[in-house]
Structure 1
Amino acid sequence: MKLKDSVAVITGSSSGIGAAIATLFAQYGCHVVITYSRNEEGARSVAETCEREGVRTLVCQADVSIDDDCRRLVDQTMAAFGRIDILINNAGTTKFCPHGDLEGLDQQDFLDLYAVNTVGPFQMTRAAEKALRTNGSGHIINMASVAGLAGVGSSIAYAASKGALITMTRSLARVLGPEVRVNAVCPGFVQGEWLKQGLGETRYQTMLEKYEAAAPLKKTASPETVADVCLGLIIGGDLTTGETVLIDGGAHLGSAPVRR
């Protein structure tokens, strides 16, 4: 698939990973729809950066947990561009809670996280299905997490919501083919403000050093490295669907010794 003159809807793209994806895709000539829940200023700034690459942008407010917002977003995109080639389900949320603190989570926490992290991507996929199928080569990328595979991360509720998203990715890949490919990417520790704010500066730095020491590649992900993987799936993965790609420097491999 070629990105030039394609149209990508990227949810939660006012900052972090979503902003990095929008910026990278724009460099390849892809028109981008930038969405935000509350950070309009950030979304407008990302749009300006993308437009300097000579592409068109559309900035939309949308809460993916609300089905009407998802359908409105798709309608606005079709009115502006007449097509949707790529959907990046990047919008996400969490509650930071130690896994051992079972009393730290309640039913509403699970419902809130699932509404954005799992139901949101489903609603966006459903709203965009017709447009993605029309072009015969649509692609959906769901932003999951290593947490969804290993049961780690900011909270048990977060890990569960991302695990459900990974399973849903496989289900959708079966039913949306052959016109649409559906894949998930699973970052591990991602450098940036989101984790700094959630963990606090001291704990963030400690965990960063811990993950980099444990990873065979001695590196952790950044928004830009996650964007690079998404780009590769779009332009170099024409026969890849239903897959889950880990982006953690190999930290998921653990510390078992290798016999030589």
Structure 2
Amino acid sequence: MIEETGRKCVVVTGGGSGIGAAAAFAFAAAGYDIVVNYSRNREGAEAVADRCRIRGVDAICIRGDIADDADCRSIAEAAVKHFGRLDALVNNAGVTRYAEATDLEASNAEDFDHIFDVNVVGTYQMIRAAVPHLKQAELGSIVNVSSDSAFSGSGSSLAYAASKGAINTMTMGLARTLAPRIRVNSVCPGFVDTTWALSWHDEASYGDFKANLIDASPLKSIPDAADIADAILWLSDRASKVTGQCIVIDSGMHLGA
């Protein structure tokens, strides 16, 4: 059933928490209808959708694993079936497996396959599913959530960093391929203060880790999810002359302070 609201529509993958949830809230505040995708966190996705509706827009939750091409096509089709249009895609869903970079035995082929299946292949599949619909928009937009790991080679694992490098390469290639109807950009956060890092830190070490990062940062801060969401919204909704860019958001940590 198509709901003709006159509002733009955005799909946010991995929208049940963290950066994805913050992006959904930012788009809702800007007047977009929201498709909140999730793979496991249904409760979180429904809570995000509820908070979006409070802002006066409509929001639906769609379960789907972006590593599955059929799921990607279903997500895009659900957006158009419900809202009648698709104007923007935020590729936020991603995975990692922590591995010390100095221990080459800490990651194996299975780890690389899993991380690349979701982060790289999944991102591509979601873009491919969305493109026919985005081409119908006045000016479609895709924003990929990458990482500054793509440039530094550091992070939770080498496999994760390599996957984000691949996303940036894909961003530039598709920006050229999909122009002029669709713009493609990526945001590349450094460490972001969300629950993501708690999967490889306990609470005590996490606090120390954040304090050390803040002290080392030129801006004496670390970004939170809302900071990243602001950049995603700007790239999607306001930066009509920007495409093929990979924007680092890390409070200046890339400067090597």
TM class by smaller structure: over 0.9
Counterpart for residue 95 of structure 1: 97
CA distance in 2, matches of 1:195, 1:235: 29
Establish whether residue 11 from structure 1 lines up as the match of residue 29 from structure 2. Answer: no
What is the one-letter code of the residue matched to 1:55? V
| Structure 1 counterpart SS, 2:36 | strand
Deviation at 1:201, TM superposition (A): 1.8
2: distance between equivalents of 1:149 and 1:226?
Answer: 18
Which 5+ residue runs of structure 1 have no aligned equivalent?
Answer: 256-260
Distance 1:203 1:158 in 2: 21
SS of residue paired to 2:90: strand
The correspondence for 1:124, drawn from 106, 116, 126, is 126
**1:147 and 2:149 aligned:** yes
Tell me the number of residue pairs that the alignment of Structure 1 and Structure 2 aligns: 252
Counterpart in 2 of 1:258? none
Shift of residue 148 of structure 1?
1.0
2:194 maps to 192
Alignment partner of 1:102: what SS? coil
> Hey, what does 2:162 align to over in structure 1?
160
Tell me which of 239, 242, 249 is aligned to 2:241.
239
Structure 1 residue 208: Cα displacement: 1.1
Counterpart in the other structure of 1:22: 24
Q: Percent identity?
A: 43
Residues 132-183 of structure 1 show CA distances to partners (whole Å, capped at 9, x for unaligned) of 1111400000000011111010000000000100110000000000010000
Query: Which residue number corresponds to residue 175 of structure 1?
Result: 177
Q: State how far apart, in whole Å, the 2-side matches of 1:74 and 1:234 are.
A: 17
CA distance in 1, matches of 2:208, 2:100: 16
Equivalent runs, 1:242-257 vs 2, <5 Å: 242-255=244-257
Who is 1:44 aligned against? 46
CA distance in 1, matches of 2:213, 2:148: 13
- Alpha-carbon shift at residue 77 of structure 1 (Å): 1.1
> Hey, what does 1:115 align to over in structure 2?
117
**Displaced runs of 4 or more, over 4 A:** none
Contact residue 136 and residue 180 of structure 1 kept, 8 A? no
Once superposed, what is the RMSD of the aligned Cα atoms?
A: 1.0
